[in-house]
């Protein structure tokens, strides 16, 4: 088999065969079909994604003696007529390919201007394909501009560039621009698969994935690597190991071992790992980049993406899925950050091996964060009841520094611990109205001004003994600045938790309560409003007001009279919607990534996508 011509043999001969650039090829084909081909095009995009290939196809199709109609009704070259043959073989005199990098002088362009005047010798159109056009000198550009201003009818220019910003605006404005995309790893893999099947090569899945990932969006690179490997291996099968050896890639095994070290904390294993990386002749920086990608993949799975979304070999996919719960998000992020840091430091480190060892020991010795979310779930607390399982900030805690005795007040759920109110304040003044007081209730109380906002963070030193806490002083929680009172904001935040609390006693009642919205807090009462659509829920809650009142006291640690109303609810006061578990994880993931632009970029590179998106 003539492996040397593989990449050329698989070069697309029709628009339909161009991989991953349908947005360009279709537009071009439509223009050809309508006879509206422009005089000058500029193709921009990363290297190796098909710009020159598409330029040649365009040249072929406009010159083809016998254009065909592709399966989608769009024109394609016949690849059979003399014009097609000459262009495919590179023998067409009227298709002039110029490399901007080596023909950047003004003289070259002047020569071009001379020849462009003459009509084509055998083809309909004389086509100039200038690759890396941004390399032209300023004077060369100026000379080119003259030609572009009044191009002869028989001439057509196709420029290609990887650096569009270096092309003068005067030139750009005379060209139709097409942006070529980086080709996704998935598409590159598909193409590799096609070639492997077509040429009956022995290349296993792991090897194909490794080649596709290494190509980083450039199909041409993938094909040339494949070409080389076939040349090295002859008839021997190409395995993942062969590819890794040839390209100096690090196997996923090393990365899984790294996260294992983080989970088990074994220093000895950490050092062995550092040795394995160095001993394998791997570039420590390559390892560190790979490690960041590895933790990102795990974070993605944890954030609710399916393992099938990962572009890794089947075997690894399973492994990722199995290992995703071994470490908390925070730990994974820390590992990733340390790896990024170390990557920076390695740039001028004298002894990269020592750096690597230090990093791995650090990973082994880190204090693992408790995945509070998972912990709570294992305790049977539903996701809706907790918010951010992040440690409470010192600013928030400062105001709660009170003797434990004073904190007994708040019982409630383990997490949504709210400030409690002294019960002396509770019965001060019962509200006047009860139930159906018509449709226009008093305007909702504005949210109180609080120094640090309401908090729903857990308080680890909370004692859980006080059921009734009459006579206890308020806790002085930061969210209840005034008189240590539970605010409407607090109640809204804890609302779903309260509904859960009610559900535990009577399921249907809890569900009914969810349709209501806490709309006002006044003295000793909390007003719950149901919109007219929820009349049924309203009635049910109304009938069981005592039960709700008791649950309220248990949950918020404060006695309030529960006033049920029926009427419209302002948009801002609508009942809090219950978030799905996935939504929560996703939000949290977004939050974690907020200050990490580099990681965002990496996510795009890895083509990590959340479910269904
Ligand atoms: Zn043809």
Query: What percent of the chain has pLDDT above 70?
Result: 78
My answer on whether 502 and 354 are in the same domain is no
- Residues with Cβ within 8 Å of 213's Cβ and at least 6 positions away in sequence, in order, are 185, 311
Residue 436 CA: distances (Å) to CA of 445, 488, 514, 537, 559: 19, 21, 19, 14, 22
For 44, the enclosing helix (H) or strand (E) is strand 40-44
Give 146-165 pLDDT, tens digit per residue: 889 888 999 999 999 999 99
How far is C-alpha 119 from the chain's CA centre?
Answer: 52
81 CA to middle of ligand 1, Å? 4
Determine, yes or no, domain membership for 114.
Answer: yes
My answer on whether 413 and 554 are in the same domain is yes
Q: The whole model's pTM is what?
A: 0.60
Determine, yes or no, domain membership for 602.
Answer: no
Residue 93 CA: distances (Å) to CA of 78, 119, 127, 148, 595: 19, 11, 9, 21, 55
**What would the 3-class secondary structure string for 437-494 be?**
CCCCCCCCCCCCCCCCCCCCCCCCCCCCCCCCCCCCCCCCCCCCCCCCCCCHHHHHHH
My answer on whether 34 and 93 are in the same domain is yes
Question: Residue 586: pLDDT band by 50, 70, 90 thresholds?
Answer: confident
Determine, yes or no, domain membership for 52.
Answer: yes
Rg (CA), the chain: 34
User: In sequence order, what DSSP letters do the residues of 535-574 get, joined into one string?
Assistant: HHHHHHHHHTHHHHHHHHHHHHSS--EEEEEES---GGGS
Question: Residue 307: pLDDT band by 50, 70, 90 thresholds?
Answer: confident
What are phi and psi for residue 394, nearest 5 degrees?
Answer: -65, -30
Determine, yes or no, domain membership for 342.
Answer: yes
Domain boundary among the residues 247, 263, 298 is at 247
Q: Is the dihedral of CA 197, 203, 205, 211 positive or negative?
A: negative
Residue 361 contacts residue 270 (beta carbons within 8 Å): yes
User: Rounded mean pLDDT of 356-379?
Assistant: 72
My answer on whether 31 and 57 are in the same domain is yes
For 75, the enclosing helix (H) or strand (E) is strand 75-76
d(C-alpha 242, C-alpha 255), whole Å = 18
156 CA to middle of ligand 1, Å? 18
124 CA to middle of ligand 1, Å? 12
Domain boundary among the residues 310, 345, 365 is at 365
My answer on whether 141 and 277 are in the same domain is no
Q: What's 225's domain CATH number? A: 1.10.8.60
d(C-alpha 599, C-alpha 605), whole Å = 10
My answer on whether 115 and 207 are in the same domain is no
Question: Residue 538: pLDDT band by 50, 70, 90 thresholds?
Answer: very high
155 CA to middle of ligand 1, Å? 19
User: Rounded mean pLDDT of 400-425?
Assistant: 39
Angle between helices 219-233 and 240-247 (to 10 degrees): 100
Determine, yes or no, domain membership for 371.
Answer: no
- Enter the DSSP assignment of 76: E
User: Rounded mean pLDDT of 514-520?
Assistant: 90
121 CA to middle of ligand 1, Å? 17
d(C-alpha 587, C-alpha 604), whole Å = 18
15 CA to middle of ligand 1, Å? 13
60 CA to middle of ligand 1, Å? 7
User: Rounded mean pLDDT of 530-556?
Assistant: 91
Determine, yes or no, domain membership for 604.
Answer: no
d(C-alpha 223, C-alpha 243), whole Å = 13
Residue 211 contacts residue 248 (beta carbons within 8 Å): no
84 CA to middle of ligand 1, Å? 4
Based on the number of CB atoms within 10 Å of its own CB, is 76 exposed (0-12), middle (13-18) or buried (19 or more)? buried
Among the ranges given (43-52, 111-120, 459-468, 504-513), the one the predictor scored with the smallest mean pLDDT: 459-468
Give 208-219 pLDDT, tens digit per residue: 999 998 888 899
Question: Token digits for 384?
Answer: 């809706």
How far is C-alpha 177 from the chain's CA centre?
Answer: 28
Angle between helices 284-302 and 267-279 (to 10 degrees): 130
Domain that holds residue 307: 252-365
Q: Quick check: helix, strand or coil at residue 590?
A: helix
- Residues with Cβ within 8 Å of 30's Cβ and at least 6 positions away in sequence, in order, are 74
What are phi and psi for residue 178, nearest 5 degrees?
Answer: -130, 130
Q: Is the dihedral of CA 127, 133, 136, 138 positive or negative?
A: positive
Residue 70 contacts residue 103 (beta carbons within 8 Å): no
My answer on whether 145 and 234 are in the same domain is no
103 CA to middle of ligand 1, Å? 30
254 CA to middle of ligand 1, Å? 52
177 CA to middle of ligand 1, Å? 26
Q: Tell me which of 102 and 59 has the higher pLDDT.
A: 59
Determine, yes or no, domain membership for 585.
Answer: no
Determine, yes or no, domain membership for 391.
Answer: no
76 CA to middle of ligand 1, Å? 9
My answer on whether 432 and 356 are in the same domain is no
Question: Token digits for 65?
Answer: 């003696």
My answer on whether 323 and 424 are in the same domain is no
43 CA to middle of ligand 1, Å? 23
387 CA to middle of ligand 1, Å? 65
- The total of other beta-carbon atoms located within 10 Å of residue 85's CB is 14
Question: Residue 459: pLDDT band by 50, 70, 90 thresholds?
Answer: very low
My answer on whether 109 and 193 are in the same domain is no
d(C-alpha 204, C-alpha 525), whole Å = 70
Q: Quick check: helix, strand or coil at residue 157?
A: strand
Q: pLDDT at residue 9 above 60?
A: yes
Pairing state between β 40-44 and 155-161: parallel
Residue 319 CA: distances (Å) to CA of 207, 230, 334: 17, 29, 21
My answer on whether 154 and 197 are in the same domain is no
Nearest to 514 by CA among 532, 527, 528, 526: 528
The distance in angstroms from the start CA to the end CA of the chain is 42
Q: pLDDT at residue 565 above 70?
A: yes
d(C-alpha 427, C-alpha 437), whole Å = 21
92 CA to middle of ligand 1, Å? 13
Tokens 């007040």 sit at which residue? 409
Domain boundary among the residues 223, 247, 271 is at 247
**Overall domain count for the chain:** 4
35 CA to middle of ligand 1, Å? 17
User: Rounded mean pLDDT of 418-437?
Assistant: 41
Q: Biggest alpha carbon distance in the chain? A: 103
d(C-alpha 39, C-alpha 125), whole Å = 10
Q: Is the dihedral of CA 469, 474, 480, 485 positive or negative?
A: positive
Looking from the CA of 423 toward its CB, the CA atoms found within 13 Å total: 16
Q: pLDDT at residue 421 above 60?
A: no
My answer on whether 44 and 172 are in the same domain is yes
* Most confident option among 142-151, 254-263, 294-303, 472-481: 254-263
């Amino acid at each position: 088999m003539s492996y040397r011509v593989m990449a050329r043999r698989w070069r697309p001969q029709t628009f339909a065969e161009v991989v991953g650039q349908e947005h360009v090829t279709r537009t071009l084909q439509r223009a050809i079909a309508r006879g509206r081909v422009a005089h000058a095009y500029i193709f921009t995009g990363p290297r190796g994604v098909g710009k020159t290939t598409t330029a040649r196809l365009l040249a072929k199709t406009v010159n083809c003696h016998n254009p065909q109609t592709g399966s989608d009704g769009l024109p394609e070259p016949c690849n059979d007529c003399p014009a097609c043959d000459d262009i495919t073989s590179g023998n067409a005199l009227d298709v002039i390919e110029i490399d901007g990098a080596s023909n950047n002088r003004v003289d070259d362009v002047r020569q071009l201007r001379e020849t462009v005047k003459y009509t084509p010798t055998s083809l309909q159109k004389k086509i100039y394909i200038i690759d890396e056009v941004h390399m032209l000198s300023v004077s060369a550009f100026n000379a080119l501009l003259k030609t572009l201003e009044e191009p002869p009818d028989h001439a057509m220019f196709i420029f290609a560039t990887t650096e569009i910003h270096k092309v003068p605006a005067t030139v750009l404005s005379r060209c139709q621009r097409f942006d070529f995309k980086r080709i996704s790893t998935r598409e590159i893999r598909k193409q590799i698969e096609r070639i492997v099947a077509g040429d009956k090569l022995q290349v296993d899945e792991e090897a194909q994935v490794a080649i596709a990932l290494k190509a980083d969006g450039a199909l041409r690179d993938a094909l040339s690597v494949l070409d080389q490997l076939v040349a090295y291996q002859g008839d021997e099968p190409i395995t993942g190991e062969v590819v890794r050896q040839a390209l100096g890639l690090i196997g996923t095994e090393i990365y899984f071992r790294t996260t294992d070290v983080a989970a088990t904390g074994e220093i000895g294993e950490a050092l062995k790992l550092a040795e394995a990386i160095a001993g394998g002749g791997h570039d420590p920086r390559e390892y560190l980049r790979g490690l960041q990608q590895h933790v990102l993949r795990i974070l993605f799975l944890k954030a609710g993406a399916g393992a099938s979304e990962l572009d890794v070999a089947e075997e690894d996919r399973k492994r990722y899925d199995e290992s995703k719960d071994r470490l908390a998000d925070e730990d994974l992020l820390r590992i990733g950050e340390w790896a990024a840091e170390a990557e920076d430091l390695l740039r001028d480190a004298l002894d990269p091996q020592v750096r690597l060892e230090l990093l791995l020991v650090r990973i082994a010795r880190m204090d693992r964060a408790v995945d509070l979310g998972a912990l709570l779930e294992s305790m049977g607390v539903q996701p809706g009841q907790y918010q951010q399982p992040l440690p409470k900030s010192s600013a928030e805690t400062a105001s709660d520094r009170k003797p434990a005795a004073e904190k007994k007040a708040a019982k409630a759920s383990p997490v949504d611990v709210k400030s409690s109110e002294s019960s002396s304040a509770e019965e001060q003044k019962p509200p006047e109205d009860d139930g159906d007081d018509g449709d226009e209730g008093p305007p909702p109380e504005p949210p109180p001004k609080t120094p640090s906002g309401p908090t729903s963070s857990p308080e680890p030193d909370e004692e859980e003994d006080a059921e009734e806490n009459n006579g206890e002083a308020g806790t002085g929680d930061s969210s209840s600045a005034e008189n240590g009172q539970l605010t409407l904001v607090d109640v809204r935040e804890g609302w779903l938790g309260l509904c859960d609390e009610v559900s535990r006693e009577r399921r249907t009642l809890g569900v009914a309560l969810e349709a209501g919205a806490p709309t006002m807090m006044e003295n000793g009462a909390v007003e719950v409003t149901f919109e007219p659509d929820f009349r049924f829920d309203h009635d049910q809650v109304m009938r069981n007001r005592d039960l709700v009142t008791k649950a309220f006291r248990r949950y918020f640690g404060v006695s309030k009279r529960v006033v049920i109303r029926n009427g419209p609810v302002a948009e801002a006061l609508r009942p809090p919607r219950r978030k799905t578990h996935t939504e929560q994880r996703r939000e949290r993931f977004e939050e974690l990534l907020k200050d990490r632009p580099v990681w965002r970029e990496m996510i795009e590179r890895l083509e990590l996508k959340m479910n269904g998106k």
